[in-house]
Structure 1
Amino acid sequence: MPNKKNLFLSCAVLAVTLVTGCSSGGDAESKDDGVVSVAESGGGGKGSATKSPAADASESGRPQIRMDTTDAEELRMYQGYLRCLKDHGVPVGSPGNKMPEADPGSLWFPGMDVAKERPEVEKACLGKRPLPPPELDPKKNPEFMDDYTKWIECNNRRGLKVDPLPDGGGWNYKAGATPPRNADQIDQECMIEAFSGE
């Protein structure tokens, strides 16, 4: 799911994210792909940039993911969006054993990038798609790259050996790295620490 690992891409993990699994938000999809992508865009946040009225309208009423949102909470927030995709013919499944703590009746993310493969459906359902944390949006956080660097440094310091992507879009595990069992927890804690200025 969107998480930080492939946020998405969409969801996202979708996004690495994530499965928020890398763990948080954004659009990330699967925790197991070794790539973590930072979220697309969200509302408000430190040093918010001025938004156009169109951007405000597209975000109005959408659920807002926070950096401390759990995977299960995030999946619940995505149910309206996933139901909309399903109603428009996009194949979605169930979490199954990917997220045992999820409600058994939950929908899961499609195995495609809906925005690229079914743009008309993404447009129709966008109003139901949760917004990623604003701190993770470079357009809304003028300190994004500094925060991103701190996130990567924290992960490495705590044993999650990762290499940053050059554009600040996420990270890959270092070659030969064996992720610790609590990799998702480390990543989320480091992300919160870095992007919240703690």
Structure 2
Amino acid sequence: MPDVGDHSQPPNGRSFSPLIFVVLLAAGRSNRMGMIGASKLLAEFDGIALVRRSAQVALGSTTDTVVVITGHRRLEIEAALGGLEVECVENPLYESGMATSLATGVSHCRAQGADAILVMLADMPGLTSGNLDQLIAAFRSTDGDVVVRAMGDGKQGNPVILPKTLFEAVEQLEGDVGARQVIEASGLPVVYVEIGQAALLDVDTPEAVRAAGGTLNA
């Protein structure tokens, strides 16, 4: 397992300033929320909708751009993001699974010249801007052809940074899957960054939302 401390500068000695975009995935149907009909992304944490809080965390980091992928309840999600300097991109195929949102985000960011994408799930209330900066700093300290992945207490978690060499493969993904198979097939080195329980905490159920301190709305 590579140690982030071993990557204090690029191996070739050059400074490396890649364009890193955050892709905030906020298009899903929240199927595990059950029959109550509430959206986990509109649940409030300290009075702020979770999707807005997640976007604020991304904006507070050293990323270059924040792109939010929307789909289910798009108008409400976008309203919750009102006034923030994020770019909302609709995924009309969101019902087909997470892969379509990933592909939508990667395609959009590649067209904008991104060198890497930090894939962030919008339902992770424990993440901070500092956590994202830990991942970004780890990526910037390499030659740019690595995957950077958050860990929580030694377990693989999220977010993850994908380099542009993987963009094409991610765009070909189908179904309700993430980028794991692309990462494993690529053979690229993976740099793990320990950020604690924030890497593992997502709120997929009403119980999880409440346990994390959230308040569900309709």
Return the structure number with greater strand share.
2
> Which has the bigger relative contact order, CA under 8 A and spacing at least 6?
2
TM over 0.5: no
TM-score by length of 2: 0.26
TM-score by length of 1: 0.28
Higher CA-based Rg: 2
